[in-house]
Amino acid sequence: MITALCDATIFTSEAMVEGHALLIKDGKILDIVANRKAPADTNKKSYPEHILAPGFIDAQVNGGANILFNNTPTGEACVAIAKAHQTFGTTRLLPTFITDRPEITAQAIAAMRTARKTCKNILGIHIEGPHLGLERRGVHKADYIRGITQSDLQLYHHPADEVMLMTVAPECVPPDQIKILRQQDIIISLGHTSATPDQIRGALKAGATGFTHLFNGMGKPGGETVTPADTALGDPGSWCGIIIDGFHVSPELVSRALTAKPPGKLFLVSDAMPPAASDKPQTFKLYDETVRVEKGRCVNNEGKLAGSSITISDAVQNCVKLGIAIEEVLRMASSYPAAFLGLDNRLGKLLPGYEADVVVLNHSFVPQAAFVAGA
By CB atoms closer than 10 A (0-12, 13-18, 19+), residue 155 is middle
**What CA–CA distance (Å, rounded) separates 128 from 187?**
12
Count CA atoms closer than 13 A to 357's CA, side-chain side: 27
Residue 348's region, left for phi above 0, alpha for psi from -120 to 50, else beta, is: left
Rounded alpha-carbon distances, angstroms, from residue 271 to 101, 147, 206, 268, 346 = 21, 23, 26, 10, 24
How many other β-carbons are positioned within 10 Å of the β-carbon of residue 352? Answer: 13
- Is-catalytic flag, 245? no
The vertex-267 CA angle with 107 and 12, nearest 5°, equals: 110
Catalytic site residue from 7, 152, 271, 344: 271
Report the Cα–Cα distance between both ends of the chain, in Å, rounded. 12
In the chain, where does DSSP find H-type helix? 75-86, 102-116, 150-155, 175-183, 197-206, 228-234, 251-260, 312-321, 326-332, 335-340
Q: Which residues contact 46 (CB under 8 A, 6 or more apart)?
A: 6, 7
- The strand pairing partners of 369, in sequence order, are 360
The residues annotated as belonging to the active site are 271
